[in-house]
Chains A and B, each alone.
Chain A
């Protein structure tokens, strides 16, 4: 290069300071992700249970009630457990806040709030999907049709995830979205393990039997992990290896460890790329969670109490959610001023003289 004038070209987009993000958008983005994950998870569980029950095992339906801790609400609404009622309760009953219909409604409301900033593709697909869910009737969820319906719902959720991945602008909104998604996946996997483990384990005689193996397979399928597990563990299906896979596999997209890592990445991005230092404390909590998980084998976790472990993880994740809310969308405006104590507006000088002259005119 000669001695000419050196020109520096600067990409104006790359050099812009980070745009502030409305707190409400961050909140809605996170919850949109969480609700969509929940819908997908629930559809998968209903689908698997239906197949599982159809193939001869009984009593599978009640596990869903347990996963969601819905015993009381369900019995109040329906009196007794039957497959039809449980399916109805979890698919179309809007009064049940954990149903697919209620979750889809909540996802839609959050997406409506986010419409100015999400892609048109995201909105259009969500709009069509949530309208479809809203219009489901009892006749659409008959036992023979539920599996097809669940497959469609799962596919729509995955389409949503794909469209989001492919079209959502990668600024703070997408970071909060991802934080929501990974938080929810981490939470869901522990719920799944917890309940299945308790439902399945008590029958000592059944350990290693055909029924037992098909139950553990169902658990893996509920987490979309059956084939991946097969590849890693070949022919061996034992409680500790299944649980180890679901909790600790670094390569399985729905494992606890994977989602804690991704959650950590998201929080780090907030701190590093957007200078949101409030994420520091939250990062520490996630790091602690990961450390506790990594420090023990699945066998050790089972021996020292799997249920207690899952419980603890869930309450820590709840704390993470609370701390994020506290840091980025505090419930109250920063300045709280009760209405009564406000001084009256001082009258505008020009205004009072003018009105006087009118009334005299």
Chain B
């Protein structure tokens, strides 16, 4: 008998559980959860260890009582609906727009209020430190002078943008929209895997997943009080108004998209709609006298805040890639004259780089004099003698990642490597230790997920989204991505990952 089933039975004995209305009572031994096992991983729903919140137990009972066919029918209905509504990412072939939905799993992932408060505080702390770090490296560079982080790692970084030097961005905010990738280890501890401080995507799925859940599983969600996710657009719009250039009473915010051929176009549509602002493309904007305007039926109208979903390189052919047709000539000059705000600021990529990531605990310490609330995945910096020694001694247990700007090559997954590969990698490491960091393989947490044979455990991660104008607000929950292949740790949508609704229990 699986661990989870045992827990559920145990809870029933220790406390009253809310009644399951409208659904037939099913004993755990014959319900959907009867075959579910979370193995040695931390389970997001059966919460290996801690006492179970009665609402999670209620959710599990309700799910357990559903016949598998019923759950499958609802899943099909959800996917059809997502497809018909065009909640899709788009792959363009020669002449067709092929819409694909991000596979959606109906079994929600649930965070309790204390869990969420912890994540929220950690994300806020991190965003604050990242913004202070960016201000510093684009102004006095004390963090470099004080030797907290190697100078070359920052100023030699491909994402470091010289044009940002000395520019005073409104509110000191560089990263207005942040997505922090979190995982949980086998003890249920949240760990930061990566910071996304450029143009993090996925927030539209968080909100649409909630809508879908409530449409196809109203009976399952009924009476379970969740923190709402609908506020995101308003929060974002208000943050973008807060950071508009000084002296503008009624700022015009726009969302700048590469256009309908971009795979994330649906998200751009979604965000523009939720904010109630125009979704513009580069060709809709012009600059004149270092000010930005949009082309309307009534002529040119001023634009003050731009939420851009274009990478730095494409923003302005005059300042960056001259061959890019997606951007707006003169935009960077207007930005430097402080006539327009760009969110996220240009040059934020330097802060979410793998190399800088390794220094984040020290960066948080340096600017805030606080311990990080959310730890990094244990990271060894091979540029430092202890880090290198540890990495060399434990190579077969570690993932070693190159931090160089042309990353992506030369990743070593120790446990999967042959003796020859390990030996060869040791030599590479010793030749150029500064180019590497190493991390243990994290046993990601799992969540029950509808698969071929019923509910099985699949690995999940979590990307909470933070919005920063003058203050930071974090959308309750975040995007839970799920690896749909058995045993796979890869949750990326491009590699067969899906997503789940993420519930944060109210109070």
Contacts and interface: CB of A to CB of B under 8 A. Distances in A.
Do A and B form a real pair? Answer: yes
Interface of A: 20-26, 94, 105, 108-109, 112-113, 115-117, 120, 123-124, 127-128, 134, 172, 176, 270, 274-276, 328-329, 333-335, 337, 339, 342, 345, 348-351, 354-355, 358, 361
B163 A328 contact: no
A348 B336 contact: yes
Given A115-B269, A348-B162, A339 B297 contact: no
Nearest to A102: B95
Interface string B381-401: 000000000000000000000
Nearest to A176: B297
Given A23-B284, A335-B288, A116 B269 contact: yes
B273 A116 contact: yes
Contacts of A134: 96
Contact of B319 (A25, A176, A328, A345): A345
Most chain A CB within 10 A, of B155, B272, B278, is at B278
Contacts of A276: 297-298
B296 A23 contact: yes
B383 to A, nearest CB: 17
B261 to A, nearest CB: 9
20 contacts: A20-B294, A21-B297, A23-B296, A115-B86, A115-B273, A123-B86, A127-B85, A134-B96, A176-B297, A276-B298, A329-B295, A334-B295, A337-B329, A342-B329, A345-B163, A345-B332, A350-B139, A351-B165, A358-B151, A358-B155
B54 interface: no
Contact of B295 (A23, A274, A342): A23
A127 B84 CA distance: 6
Contacts of B67: none
A323 B158 CA distance: 48
A20 B329 contact: no
Nearest to B279: A116
A358 B317 CA distance: 28
Contact of B318 (A127, A172, A176, A339): A339
- Which secondary structure dominates where chain A touches chain B? helix
In the A-B complex, the 7 residue pairs with the closest CB atoms: A350-B166, A351-B165, A20-B296, A116-B272, A328-B297, A116-B279, A115-B269
A23 B265 contact: no
A22 B295 contact: yes
B484 interface: no
A345 B318 contact: yes
Given A116-B278, A348-B163, A109 B296 contact: no
Contacts of B333: 345
B151 A335 contact: no
B157 to A, nearest CB: 12
B215 interface: no
A123 B85 contact: yes
Interface string B266-287: 0001001100001111011011
A294 B52 CA distance: 80
Interface string B294-326: 111111110000000000000001110010000
Q: What class of interface size applies to chain B in its complex with A?
A: 35 or more
Nearest to B161: A351
Interface in B137-188: 139, 141, 151, 155, 162-163, 165-167
Nearest to A134: B96
Given A113-B260, A120-B85, A339 B296 contact: no
B506 interface: no
A22 B280 contact: yes
Contacts of B295: 22-24, 329, 333-334
A85 B36 CA distance: 57
A354 B288 CA distance: 30
B91 interface: no
Given A108-B97, A127-B86, A354-B141, A333 B166 contact: no
B153 to A, nearest CB: 12
Q: A25, A115, A349: which has the most chain B beta carbons within 10 Å?
A: A115
Given A112-B260, A134-B96, 20 more contacts: A21-B296, A21-B298, A22-B295, A23-B284, A25-B278, A94-B95, A108-B97, A120-B85, A124-B84, A172-B297, A276-B298, A329-B295, A329-B297, A334-B288, A335-B286, A337-B330, A339-B317, A345-B319, A348-B165, A358-B155
A328 B296 CA distance: 7
Contact of A22 (B166, B287, B294, B318): B294
A25 B298 CA distance: 13
B433 to A, nearest CB: 21
Contact of B284 (A24, A334, A337, A345): A24
A348 B166 contact: yes
B297 A20 contact: yes
Nearest to A117: B273
A287 to B, nearest CB: 21
Contacts of B97: 108-109, 112
A333 B163 contact: no
B95 A339 contact: no
B286 A333 contact: yes
A345 B272 CA distance: 32
Nearest to B274: A116
A339 B318 CA distance: 7
Contact of B165 (A127, A275, A354): A354
Contacts of B332: 345
A116 B163 CA distance: 33
A328 B180 CA distance: 43
B138 to A, nearest CB: 9
Contacts of A117: 273
Contacts of A108: 97
Contacts of B300: 334
Contacts of B139: 350
Contact of A339 (B167, B281, B298, B322): B322
A24 B165 contact: no
B78 to A, nearest CB: 15
Contacts of A120: 85
Interface in B326-372: 329-330, 332-333, 336
- Most chain-B CB neighbours within 10 Å: which of A22, A274, A334, A337? A22
B151 A361 contact: yes
A290 to B, nearest CB: 24
B297 A26 contact: yes
A69 B69 CA distance: 55
A338 B233 CA distance: 37
B23 to A, nearest CB: 30
Given A24-B284, A116-B278, A339 B329 contact: yes
A350 B297 contact: no
Contact of B265 (A25, A112, A333, A337): A112
B166 to A, nearest CB: 3
B303 to A, nearest CB: 10
A22 B165 contact: no
A22 B278 CA distance: 7
B296 A22 contact: yes
A358 B332 CA distance: 24
Q: Specify which of B86, B283, B332 lies most central, judged by the most chain A CB atoms within 10 Å of its CB.
A: B86
**Quick one: which of B297, B330, B333 has the most chain A CB within 10 A?**
B297
Nearest to B299: A334
A86 B44 CA distance: 60
Nearest to B257: A116
A123 B288 CA distance: 35
Contacts of B163: 345, 348, 351
